[in-house]
Chain A
Amino acid sequence: MYWVSVFTEAAIFAILALGLDMVWGWCGDFDLAFYGYLALGSYMTMVLTIGRPTPPVEYIIGWRLPYPLALVLADVAVVALAAVIGAIALRNLREIYFAVTTLGAVSVLYLIVENYTPLFDGYNGVYGLINPGQTLLHLTYDGYRVGFLGAVLVVLLLAYLLAQRLSRSPFGRMVCSVREDERASAAYGRPVFFVKYRAYLVGAAFAGLAGGLFAVFISAFNPSAWTPQELLLIYAAILVGGRGNPRGVILGTFVVYVGFIELTRYLPSPASRPDFGPALRQVLIGLLIILMLKFRPEGILPERAGGRQPRRPVPGQAPGLAAGPPAEPAGAVAGAGPASADPADQEGAP
């Protein structure tokens, strides 16, 4: 059962990482608000399913919706929040300015949630989402945990298929072009802000979904469950796996969560210093990031340049400017000028 729970957590965070990768890997924006989206997804799922609060506990909404419906509504709330934060942070701010703005946004949210108790009961947080559907499905506790892992893996698979399809689509190519050179993208007709904004909202939707699943996994959520370090671990996972490659991102999450964190749990820990093990783990994760950056900055599975086209042998030597005849054209349209392109496909082209 221990490993079931480890894998469940890793799979949930892999969904979050897929979403974060759309923002960081595809758009190139270092977003520090992202864990807030998971947190809000978790909180919202809770308050939509656990019913009315009994005083002195207080929180908003307090409905008893079926879990799947709550998951969807919670995700809508997350995307709405991301729409506000993204509209502020993505418009003109880039790089460190963007990162600081998102950090500020999530800090404000954090303070509000902590101190304004009618929202999510402040420091105490909300709890009580215990195994939705267990009685309905007549499952034992262990059976439910395994079943939940299966459900999370299915969601992860769907999220992966979605991310993979987008990353190889014209949409993904456009998003990456903005990362590579914004001004060039604008000069070729791409509305930079809206391109980034759309990718940001899709990424946030992934995070909200992960939050809703996380709510079931831990059955309670409070401010201490979302510290900034958690997000840095996700960044580490993306970096290790391969930024910009959905397959790599999932692999990286499992490597960091299952391989690294769980294995370092068995580090010897002197009885006099019980915090030695966890502290050492933080150090080792930092070391892992540094080593990855030094020796394989593109990650285990690097981003594929060039989407779908079949690989062709790359010539060893780049041909000089005056060198040789041009290579065989790939298709039958050799010599066809751009003017002969299918006019039906020209809508919107300059």
Chain B
Amino acid sequence: MTAALLEIEHLSKSFGGVHAVQDCTFMVPEGHVIGLIGPNGAGKSTVVDLVSGFGRPDAGSVRLAGQQLIGKRPDTISRLGLIRTFQTPREWRNLTVLDNILLAQCRFRRESLRESLLRARRIRREEDADRAVAQAILDRFQLGDLADERAVRLSGGQKRLLEFARIAAAEPRLVILDEPMGGVNPVLGVRIGEAVRGFADEGRTVLIVEHNLPFIERTCDQVVVMDLGEVIAQGPFSSLRDNARVVDAYLGMDLGRE
């Protein structure tokens, strides 16, 4: 197995009396696609929030390529190469689709007040080049014709695609997808699966939180199962069918069949 890109150790978080995450430990090897599954309330989304800096854990450690993430702000963590999505698409609604991609390209230096005021000509030249790249990304995700539309006018499915286009523009090392299949039709689901595999082919590491088990089976190399805030199983999807705790957690659901 390759080296771990993301190492989560003994992570715990309580909300009042609810132990949302308890002593959660697992790792995500570099270049792999890992699924994080479990019933509602298992603590999956909380783990994503804690890892990406949107929540503070009570205890534990999260390291990205050896670097401690706990205590860092979300934007700092993002700049280390971790891009996450949210359960509902969070596009910048009243900006154009193209601007959404330009923002996702994360050209931070250009956004300083000084650069924006004093380097207008050079910025314009650089932006023209970036705009062409952004347009190519949009075309790849079938959003090319909508580049000048405000993102709020996209359909639900198109907003999902825009999320993936933004990730492609950001070029992160680690992608964390929080329920990317929520409210997605089967045709689009196939396309999202392809996009995830595409990220993996480009050498990115992907962690997917998802309830759609057939999608997880198709897309992921390995699966981590959580229940009641704890990791209860880990391994290839096929190995989970016989795991009593996993089957119990899913109340006897027939894994892998719809």
- Contact B117–A169 (Cβ < 8 Å): yes
Instruction: Output the nearest chain B residue to A335 by Cβ-Cβ distance.
Output: B136
- A268 interface residue (CB < 8 Å to B): no
**What number of B residues sit within 8 Å (CB to CB) of A?**
82
A188-B170 contact in complex given A170-B111, A170-B123, A174-B103, C-beta closer than 8 Å: yes
* Stretch from A63-71, A111-119, A223-231, A318-326 contacting the other chain: A318-326
**Which one of A90-98, A101-109, A277-285, A308-316 is at the interface?**
A308-316
CA distance A347 to B82 in the complex (A): 15
Interface residues of B in 126-170 (CB under 8 A from A): 126-133, 135-137, 139-140, 142, 144-150, 153-155, 157-158, 161, 166, 168-170
Total residues of chain A contacting the partner, CB 8 A: 62
Which of B4-12, B38-46, B87-95 contacts the other chain?
Answer: B87-95
The answer to whether residues A308 and B124 also contact, given A177-B95, A342-B129 and a CB cut-off of 8 A, is: yes
The residue that A171 contacts in the complex, of B104, B105, B111, with Cβ under 8 A, is B111
A350 vs B74: C-alpha distance when bound (angstroms): 13
Output the residue of A165, A192, A326, A346 with the most chain B CB within 10 A.
A326
Could you tell me the distance in whole angstroms from the C-beta of B181 to the nearest C-beta in chain A?
14
B30-49 CB contact bits vs A (8 Å, 1 = yes)?
00000000000000000000
Answer whether residue A202 sits at the interface, using C-beta atoms and an 8 A cutoff.
Answer: yes
- B74 smallest CB distance to A (angstroms): 4
Q: Quote the shortest CB–CB distance from B208 to chain A (angstroms).
A: 16
Assess whether B106 is in contact with A348, with CB atoms less than 8 Å apart: yes
CA distance A131 to B91 in the complex (A): 52
The answer to whether A349 and B106 touch across the interface, beta carbons within 8 angstroms, is yes
Bound Cα distance A76, B250 (Å): 63
Compute the total of residue contacts between A and B using a CB distance below 8 Å: 216
B120 close to A165 (CB less than 8 A): yes
A162 — which chain B residues lie within 8 A by C-beta? 117
Tell me whether A309 and B116 are in contact (CB under 8 A): no
- List of A residues within 8 angstroms of B53 by Cβ: 186
Please state if A180 and B111 are interface contacts (CB–CB under 8 Å).
Answer: no
- Report if A55 contacts B (CB, 8 A): no
B117 in contact with A166 (CB, 8 Å): yes
Question: Which residues of the other chain, A, contact B218 by a CB distance below 8 angstroms?
Answer: none
Q: Is the CB of B109 within 8 A of A326?
A: no
- Given the interface pairs A169-B123, A305-B95, the reply to whether A183 lies near B73 with Cβ below 8 Å is no
* B58 interfacial contact with A, CB 8 Å: no
A338-B107 Cα distance, complex, nearest whole Å: 14
Check B23 for interface membership: any CB of A closer than 8 A.
no
Q: Are A330 and B132 in contact (CB under 8 A)?
A: yes
B131 touches A186 (CB 8 A): no
Q: B132 contacts A350, CB within 8 Å?
A: no
What are the 5 A-B residue pairs with the smallest beta carbon separation, nearest first? A331-B132, A169-B116, A171-B116, A180-B92, A306-B96
Besides A188-B78, A338-B169, 6 other CB < 8 A contacts?
A: A165-B120, A170-B115, A170-B127, A312-B147, A333-B133, A333-B136
A/B interface sample: 23 pairs, CB < 8 A: A170-B123, A172-B116, A176-B92, A177-B103, A187-B83, A188-B103, A189-B75, A189-B79, A189-B106, A202-B113, A303-B94, A312-B148, A318-B145, A318-B146, A321-B188, A330-B135, A331-B132, A331-B135, A331-B136, A334-B139, A335-B136, A341-B105, A345-B129
